[in-house]
Amino acid sequence: MTKPIPPLDLMWFIMETQASPTHVGALLLFEKPKGRPEVVREIVAAYRAQEPTEPFNFVPELASAGRPHFREVESYDPYYHVQHIALPTGASYDDLLRLVADLHEPTLDRHRPLFRDWFIDGVPGDQFAFYTKVHHAIIDGVSGTRRLYASLSTKAGRGVPKAAFAAEQPVRRARAPQAVVDRLAELGVSATKRTLAFRDVSIGALKKGLAALLGEDPGGSQPFTARHAPTNDPLQMSRSLATLSLPLDEMRAVGKYFGATRNDLAVTVVDAGTHRYFRATGRSFPHRLVAMVPMSLRDEGDTEGATKASAMFVHLGEHDAAVVERIDQVVAAMATAKEELRSMTKDAAMVYAVATLGVAELRSAPLVDRVTSPLANLVISNVPGARERMYLNGAPLVGTFPVSAIAASVGLNATLTSYHARMDIGFVRCGATMHALPTLAGHERAAYEELRATASRSDARSKGRRPAKQAKRPGPRRARS
């Protein structure tokens, strides 16, 4: 069986290099049930006994005659795709992160199904870890997370549900044969929709380009308007990881005080913490950071293998703003960018994503990336999780940390996901150019604690929400050549 590769998914293959692989992953932490030393071996055996389903049984055919397509594999090696390893005795949590960073570095073999799973024993605190990586061309953050949670159970009893790579696919009803005229008409409608979508995107980009040339702030969401930050140094193969967990309900209360959503609050924390990290490592960045913020275009319940997302590009807070001022700036910037992206049709949003990634690929070539503006300074993504406690073969899930991709000369990714009572954040960066990443998580936590303390003190005095403030928009910027 073969299947055409959609344009956005094809871009993930085109952009991929050894220094910039385009797979995404996740690190899940579980507590071992008492008295069950074989719990991990049982899970591994169950996973190896399962066969991959679409799209996890596909390999890409890019160089063949005709349109690039996926081809279903004829054989599958479960011992290659599902591995069981262990940390040495006395290893620390940082050792686990270093191991996962090493596993995350290499590209996936395109001659095999585009996923690999590792179960890791010996994690401190009588825990074990599950690390999985999947090519972005067959999955995105939302669909991947839904599949991961579907592979777990809400009950603490023994048993291993279907693995994410072996999930049952919804049965598609066969369509009645179409007459040639009807098929041509359908193709015409599709082509017309794409043409109109491209027109909408082009007109919007032209208006913003003219505004930038005139030295005005184009506002809203615009790629390639970031200054070169330490996160935009040339990417190398090395990867480094860090993690941070924050209390979910407390975040909601703190955000409410500042008139912000939990997502706005999290973006503010990442923004403030990153500037603090730059200053602490002697690389102060005296400009606003521009964040690429992916936005899912999936309908509820859609787990189809493919990328269905677009992105907005948000100018965050002033580099020297106090964190309580920064959150107002972030709230205003996020609202403007969201409104603009939501005004697009889904077709226009998808065309926008494909065109943006295509231009980013051209501009990230060696030497070119040094004289052109980067796509963005960092990626901040928020993937919805589950509120129920989840289990795998009786082992409770205690942490879910995204391990995402860095590409297109954007060397820092912060992906958030909620689980039960916490917000888990996974940071991925280029380990060769950004050092001491665990300290970044410390700066993020310190920024959050400042916001929490401000909200707590004010609530104790007034028992109310802080009066709304009008966030100051960035002033006119001189156009850069």
For the beta carbon of residue 92, count every other beta carbon within 10 angstroms: 11
Q: Which residue has the tokens 């389903």?
A: 53
3-class DSSP state for residue 214? coil
Superfamily in which the 221-399+406-462 domain is placed by CATH:
Nonribosomal peptide synthetase, condensation domain (3.30.559.30)
Tens digit of pLDDT for each residue in 284-309? 999 999 999 987 665 666 556 556 66
d(CA 180, CA 193): 20
Cα 125 to Cα 37, 128, 276, 396, 460: the distances in Å are 14, 9, 31, 13, 37
3-class DSSP state for residue 78? helix
- Amino acid letter at 166? A
Return the structure tokens found at 1. 């069986």
Intrachain domains 2-60+77-166 and 221-399+406-462 with the same fold: yes
What does the domain layout of the chain look like in residue ranges?
Answer: 2-60+77-166, 221-399+406-462
Could you tell me if 156 and 390 are in contact, meaning their C-beta atoms sit under 8 angstroms apart?
Answer: no
Type and span of the H or E element at 448: helix 437-462
Start-to-end C-alpha separation, the chain:
49
d(CA 237, CA 407): 11
Q: Which residues of 13-45 are buried (b: 16+ CB within 10 A; e: fewer)?
A: bebbeebbbbbbbbbbbbbbbeeeeebbebbbe
Cα 4 to Cα 68, 70, 138, 368, 444: the distances in Å are 6, 6, 12, 32, 42
Q: In the prediction, which pLDDT does 143 show?
A: 85
Sheet with 115-123, strands from edge to edge, namely 82-86, 115-123, 127-135, 23-31, 395-403, 391-392
Q: How many Cα atoms sit within 13 Å of 104 on the Cβ side? A: 31
List of the chain residues with pLDDT < 50: 171-218, 470-481
3-class DSSP state for residue 10? helix
Q: Any idea which fold 2-60+77-166 has?
A: Chloramphenicol Acetyltransferase (3.30.559)
3-class DSSP state for residue 313? strand
Phi-psi category of 367—alpha, beta or left, where left has phi over 0 and alpha has psi -120 to 50?
left
Q: In the prediction, which pLDDT does 5 show?
A: 93
